[in-house]
Amino acid sequence: MPNFHPYVPNAIPTIWYKWHEQKHKTENMWEMWFIYYMHINQLYAVYSNLCIYTGLHECSFVIQRFEKGLHFRRKEKADVSRLLRNWTDDYVAFPSEPARLDWNGSIIPSHVRY
Protein backbone atom coordinates (compact mmCIF):
# COMPACT_ATOMS: atom_id res chain seq x y z
CA MET A 1 0.00 0.00 0.00
CA PRO A 2 2.32 2.76 -1.25
CA ASN A 3 -0.05 5.56 -0.21
CA PHE A 4 -0.51 4.36 3.37
CA HIS A 5 0.91 6.51 6.18
CA PRO A 6 1.24 5.28 9.79
CA TYR A 7 -0.17 8.46 11.31
CA VAL A 8 -1.43 8.47 14.91
CA PRO A 9 -3.80 11.33 15.81
CA ASN A 10 -2.41 13.85 18.32
CA ALA A 11 0.98 12.15 18.46
CA ILE A 12 4.05 14.36 18.11
CA PRO A 13 5.96 11.53 16.35
CA THR A 14 3.40 11.84 13.51
CA ILE A 15 4.58 15.42 12.97
CA TRP A 16 8.19 14.21 12.88
CA TYR A 17 7.27 11.41 10.48
CA LYS A 18 5.57 13.87 8.11
CA TRP A 19 8.75 15.95 8.13
CA HIS A 20 10.75 12.81 7.25
CA GLU A 21 8.29 12.11 4.42
CA GLN A 22 8.98 15.53 2.94
CA LYS A 23 12.71 14.73 3.01
CA HIS A 24 12.15 11.17 1.67
CA LYS A 25 13.83 9.83 4.82
CA THR A 26 11.07 7.75 6.44
CA GLU A 27 13.45 4.80 6.78
CA ASN A 28 14.99 6.81 9.64
CA MET A 29 11.76 6.53 11.64
CA TRP A 30 10.98 2.82 12.02
CA GLU A 31 9.55 3.62 15.45
CA MET A 32 6.58 5.37 13.81
CA TRP A 33 5.41 1.95 12.62
CA PHE A 34 5.77 0.61 16.15
CA ILE A 35 3.79 3.55 17.54
CA TYR A 36 1.10 2.99 14.91
CA TYR A 37 0.96 -0.74 15.73
CA MET A 38 0.59 0.05 19.44
CA HIS A 39 -2.14 2.59 18.65
CA ILE A 40 -4.31 0.35 16.46
CA ASN A 41 -3.99 -2.57 18.90
CA GLN A 42 -4.66 -0.40 21.97
CA LEU A 43 -1.34 -1.35 23.53
CA TYR A 44 0.80 0.73 25.85
CA ALA A 45 4.53 0.83 26.53
CA VAL A 46 6.03 0.79 30.00
CA TYR A 47 8.64 3.49 30.47
CA SER A 48 11.25 3.14 33.16
CA ASN A 49 11.39 5.82 35.81
CA LEU A 50 14.03 4.01 37.84
CA CYS A 51 16.53 6.87 38.19
CA ILE A 52 13.92 8.93 40.03
CA TYR A 53 12.48 5.90 41.86
CA THR A 54 15.83 4.57 43.09
CA GLY A 55 17.96 7.70 43.16
CA LEU A 56 20.66 5.72 41.34
CA HIS A 57 22.68 6.78 38.31
CA GLU A 58 22.97 3.16 37.11
CA CYS A 59 19.32 2.57 36.30
CA SER A 60 18.84 1.86 32.59
CA PHE A 61 17.35 -1.41 31.37
CA VAL A 62 18.78 -0.80 27.89
CA ILE A 63 21.43 1.38 26.27
CA GLN A 64 22.28 2.66 22.82
CA ARG A 65 24.96 0.31 21.47
CA PHE A 66 25.98 2.60 18.60
CA GLU A 67 26.11 -0.21 16.05
CA LYS A 68 27.33 0.48 12.53
CA GLY A 69 24.39 0.89 10.18
CA LEU A 70 21.64 3.38 9.44
CA HIS A 71 22.67 6.04 11.97
CA PHE A 72 26.38 5.34 12.51
CA ARG A 73 29.12 4.88 9.93
CA ARG A 74 31.24 2.76 12.26
CA LYS A 75 30.84 0.93 15.54
CA GLU A 76 31.16 3.32 18.46
CA LYS A 77 31.86 2.47 22.09
CA ALA A 78 28.66 1.81 24.03
CA ASP A 79 28.23 3.56 27.38
CA VAL A 80 27.37 0.71 29.74
CA SER A 81 27.91 2.80 32.89
CA ARG A 82 24.18 3.53 33.22
CA LEU A 83 23.01 -0.10 33.05
CA LEU A 84 21.10 -1.36 36.07
CA ARG A 85 23.42 -3.48 38.22
CA ASN A 86 21.13 -4.69 41.01
CA TRP A 87 17.62 -6.06 40.66
CA THR A 88 14.65 -6.04 43.00
CA ASP A 89 11.19 -7.39 42.22
CA ASP A 90 9.75 -4.04 43.33
CA TYR A 91 10.68 -2.79 39.84
CA VAL A 92 7.95 -4.95 38.31
CA ALA A 93 5.32 -4.76 41.06
CA PHE A 94 2.75 -2.90 39.00
CA PRO A 95 -0.66 -1.86 40.31
CA SER A 96 -3.65 -3.65 38.81
CA GLU A 97 -4.58 -0.39 37.01
CA PRO A 98 -1.33 1.41 36.14
CA ALA A 99 -1.50 5.06 35.11
CA ARG A 100 -1.94 5.49 31.35
CA LEU A 101 -0.78 8.69 29.73
CA ASP A 102 -2.14 10.25 26.58
CA TRP A 103 0.18 11.67 23.91
CA ASN A 104 0.04 15.07 25.60
CA GLY A 105 1.05 13.60 28.97
CA SER A 106 -2.38 13.82 30.60
CA ILE A 107 -3.65 10.82 32.55
CA ILE A 108 -6.24 8.71 30.74
CA PRO A 109 -9.05 7.76 33.15
CA SER A 110 -9.26 4.00 33.76
CA HIS A 111 -12.81 3.79 32.32
CA VAL A 112 -11.69 5.27 28.96
CA ARG A 113 -10.70 2.71 26.32
CA TYR A 114 -9.40 3.67 22.90
In this predicted structure, the answer to whether residue 84 has a pLDDT above a threshold of 90 is: no
Distance CA 27, CA 108 (A): 31
**Same domain, yes or no, for 11 and 41?**
yes
Percent of the chain whose pLDDT exceeds 70: 97
Task: Measure Cα distances from 48 to 16, 17, 25, 62, 81 in Å.
Answer: 23, 24, 29, 10, 17
The verdict on 21 and 51 lying in the same domain is no
In a domain, 1, yes or no: no
16 within a domain of the structure (yes/no): yes
The band of 114, judged by pLDDT with boundaries at 50, 70 and 90, is: low
Asked if 59 and 75 sit in the same domain, the reply is yes
**Residue 72 lies in domain:** 46-86
Judging by DSSP bridges, how do beta strands 107-108 and 100-101 pair with one another? antiparallel
**Taking a C-beta distance cutoff of 8 angstroms, is the pair 45, 38 a contact?**
yes
The verdict on residue 106 lying in a domain is no
Per-residue pLDDT, averaged over 41-51, amounts to 83
Task: Tell me the sheet residues that pair with 83.
Answer: 60
Q: Please state the φ and ψ torsions of residue 85, each to the nearest 5 degrees.
A: -110, -25
Residue 108 pLDDT: 87
Instruction: Decide if pLDDT at 110 tops 70.
Output: yes
Please check whether residue 112 is in contact with residue 99, taking contact to mean a CB–CB distance below 8 angstroms.
Answer: no
Q: What percent of the chain is modeled with pLDDT above 90?
A: 27
Give the predicted TM-score (pTM) of the model. Answer: 0.69
Residue 35 in domain: yes
